[in-house]
Amino acid sequence: MIKIEKSEFGTFIRDLSAEYKLFAPVGEGRQSAFREVSSADQMNTSIQMTQNSPKTVFLPQTEVLFEFNGDDIQSGEKAAKPMFFWGVRSCDARGMNLLDKVMGQSKQRPDDPAFQDPYWKARFDNAVILTLACHEPASTCFCHWTGGNPFSKEAGDLWAVETETAYLIEPLSEKGKDFVKTLSGYHTASDKDKQEIKTLKKQAESCLRPAVDAKILKEKLPKIWDDPLWDEVSAKCVNCSACAFICPTCYCFDIQDEGKKDKGKRFRTWDCCMFPIFTKEASGHNPRSLARERVRQRVMHKFNYFWETYGESLCTGCGRCIRVCPVNLDIRDVAKQLLEAASAV
């Protein structure tokens, strides 16, 4: 385990930004996000969680797929300088892995590149993600419901924890190991440091609130598919898309063409299943015309459908949707209500 003293941190970041396109948490409050930085003072090192997740870099809101001018077609795919992400929390790191299951790997046809998104792969395959342990989970955090933990080492290429005087870093993946090999001149972590990690982990876990086991919820959800409880649960939802846009694992997109005559572009842009017209068909029929159907779909997708297909929860428990919802529709309360109803069946 490498130890980077806080006094060395500025130089470390400067060197890092020379080798990589370095992304780190920048900004405050609702405009905070992962943005490119070239020095440590551009970073917000005290933020618990950015409002906008790293998804905004890996799956940007708008992405040009290709541009055309007459017969000349320019693909939007660009070979990017490898990216390094500093300060990603474990919920977001898990989120990017989940997105990779959909966009990068292809469960249906693992060896067929036609099922892999080249734009995603160009970015994600070349990125090094450093998962930073979370000292003070917010009251809205519930990563432990879905098998996560503030100090989880489940996702990312490197894992780091901030102590009083230093950052302690260890590799998690092959990419991480290769990266650590390039670091020289730093101390290694002492036993005292490792003891401090244990204390910090306990402190972090004490901030977490009582959990609901999402696995049990997943098993029981299909039982209450038609329950009138969904009307109650969805009553206050106003069908905006704040939750989906801010969610690190929502990946639905719309594709549009824009241009004039023989010059234009095709791009994709985030879409949201909460919009009433999301499932509107050309005939005018809309299979999810009611709010209860859309809210049910969102909850099922996160806590059941994805689990059935890919083996884990699509929700990582980051809590951003809870903070951003204009009507305070709290997914935790919804989960508890559903579990109660499902257990009664």
Q: Which part of the chain contacts another protein (CB under 8 A), choosing from 153-161, 174-182, 191-199, 316-324?
A: 316-324
- Taking CB under 8 A as the rule, does residue 246 contact another protein? yes
The answer to whether 242 contacts another protein (rule: CB under 8 A) is: yes
Per-residue binding letters, 159-198, with another protein (x by CB under 8 A):
----------------------------------------
Q: Which stretch binds another protein (CB under 8 A): 15-23, 107-115, 256-264, 296-304?
A: 256-264
Burial status of residue 144 (CB atoms within 10 A of its CB: 0-12, 13-18, 19 or more): buried
For position 263 contacting another protein by CB under 8 A, the verdict is yes
Inter-residue long-range contacts of 259-263, CB under 8 Å, 24+ positions, other chains counted:
259/68, 262/68, 262/69, 262/70, 263/68, 263/69, 263/70
74 binds another protein (CB under 8 A): no
What residues does 188 pair with on adjacent strands? 2
- Give the C-alpha separation, 210 to 212, whole Å: 7
Supply the minimum distance, in Å, between the C-beta of residue 335 and another protein: 12
The candidate with the shortest Cα–Cα distance to 94, out of 45, 135, 151, is 151
What's the CA gap between 332 and 306, in Å, rounded?
A: 18
Q: Is 4 in the site for another protein (CB under 8 A)?
A: no
Residue whose CB is less far from another protein, 183 or 255: 255
Q: By rule CB under 8 A, what count of residues binds another protein?
A: 50
In terms of phi and psi (left: phi > 0; alpha: psi -120 to 50; beta: otherwise), the region of 173 is beta
Residue 131 or residue 140: which is nearer to another protein going by CB? 140
Burial (CB < 10 A; 0-12, 13-18, 19+), residue 74, is exposed
Provide the 8-state DSSP code for 239: -
- Closer residue to another protein (CB): 129 or 329: 329
Options 245, 303, 306, 307; binder of another protein; rule CB under 8 A:
245
**The token pair that represents 259 in the structure block:** 């241009």
- Shortest Å, Cβ 195 to another protein: 23
Binding of residue 341 to another protein (CB under 8 A)? no
| Sheet with 263-270: strands ordered across | 72-75, 62-69, 263-270, 253-260
**Which residue, among 316, 311, 315, 313, has the nearest Cα to 107 in the 3D structure?**
311
229 binds another protein (CB under 8 A): no
Binding site for another protein (CB under 8 A): 28-31, 47-48, 51, 61-62, 136, 138-140, 207, 232, 235-236, 238-242, 245-246, 254, 256, 258-260, 263-264, 267, 269-270, 272, 275-277, 290-291, 322-324, 326-330, 332-333
